[in-house]
Amino acid sequence: MPSRRSFLALTGSAALAACAPRPEDNPDDPVSRYGFTPVEGYEAMDDGGYHLPPVPPQYLEWPNRRQLVFYEGERAAGDIEIDPHAKFLYYILPDGTAWRYPIAVGRAGLALRGRTTIRQKKEWPGWTPTKNMLRTQPEVYGPFARGVPGGIASPLGARALYLYRGGKDSYFRIHGTNDLGSIGNSGSAGCIRLFNHDIIDLAARVSIPTEVYVRTEEDSLRLLGPEMTPRGVELPPRIVSPETIYGATEVAVEDPGV
């Protein structure tokens, strides 16, 4: 049963809603514009000259949204821990909590092990497939061989965090994505992907350098249990049209790896 305080809060919210203009009276109302009520933290936003629409609620069903949680792992404050099995990324805070972000783990991301270090972060980066991507899946990556410029169309999304190992670029990335349905699952492409709203939030918290650790399946099961580990499904390879999905590709860029 709701407490008196929560009941008053609910009735107050109802009163405010009753006084609000109807969607048809307000052209800026998100329900009129997007067809749904945005989830807090995933509303429409403007960033770097680009407009990001809100994330539709069907992609944000629990636990597929950014949450502040108690952290039960072993990493230090300021570190990042990636759980590729439960499909979460943790940014650890000094008070024993962590921001937990849902992620998608691509085929490249599944190969990420041990510890790496974030030594670069970029806003709205461009992307070029690696030679290995072009060799192993030419039907998927061939249309993008000349690169995709930074922006809404880029597979790296709104931000990219660049992981180094031993002082050298590992070509692993933590980055945004427009493929909303991939979050919480494993995919055929990409490294560690977040909703664009989440990678913007994460990148603002991350300093250079930041240590990144990958959780083992054994630790994931120990900490989260079989109801969370493993989580998601493996998505089949997709052949995408650069014109309809990513936009124009005629501008070559210098940043390999995704």
52 within a domain of the structure (yes/no): no
In-domain check, residue 12: no
Residue 141: which CATH number?
Answer: 2.40.440.10
Please count the structural domains in the chain: 1
CA distance 232 to 228: 9
| pLDDT of 123 higher than 50 | yes
* More confident of the two residues 110 and 97: 97
pLDDT digits (tens, 9 = 90+) for 211-255: 999 999 999 999 999 999 999 998 876 544 444 443 433 333 445
9, part of any domain: no
pLDDT at 237: 61
Is the residue at 134 inside a domain? yes
Taking the C-alpha atoms of residue 39 and residue 48, their distance in angstroms, rounded to an integer, is 22
Q: What is the pLDDT, as a whole number, of residue 189?
A: 60
Closest to 155 in 3D by CA, of 175, 135, 133:
175
Indicate the range of 26-30, 101-105, 128-132, 245-249 predicted with least confidence. Answer: 245-249
In the predicted model, what is the mean pLDDT of residues 128-155?
A: 84
Q: Which two tokens stand for residue 48?
A: 């770097």
The reply to whether 251 falls in a domain is no
**Residue-level length of the chain:** 258
Mean pLDDT highest for which of 80-94, 120-134, 174-188?
Answer: 80-94
Percent residues over pLDDT 70 in the chain? 78
- Residue 49 inside a domain? The answer is no
- Compute the average pLDDT of residues 144-159: 88
Mean pLDDT calculated for residue range 7-20 = 32
In the numeric block, the tokens 């959780």 are attached to 215
Mean pLDDT of all residues in the chain? 82
pLDDT band at 28 (very low <50, low <70, confident <90, very high): confident
In what helix (H) or strand (E) does residue 168 lie, and over which residues does it extend?
A: strand 168-177
Q: Is the pLDDT of residue 143 over 90?
A: no
Pairing of the two strands 50-52 and 45-47: antiparallel
Encode pLDDT of 53-108 as tens digits.
Answer: 999 999 999 999 999 999 999 999 999 999 999 999 999 999 999 999 999 997 65
For 225, the domain range is 59-230
pLDDT of residue 37: 95
Query: Is residue 3 a part of any domain in this protein?
Result: no
Instruction: List residues with catalytic annotation.
Output: 175, 191
46 in any annotated domain:
no
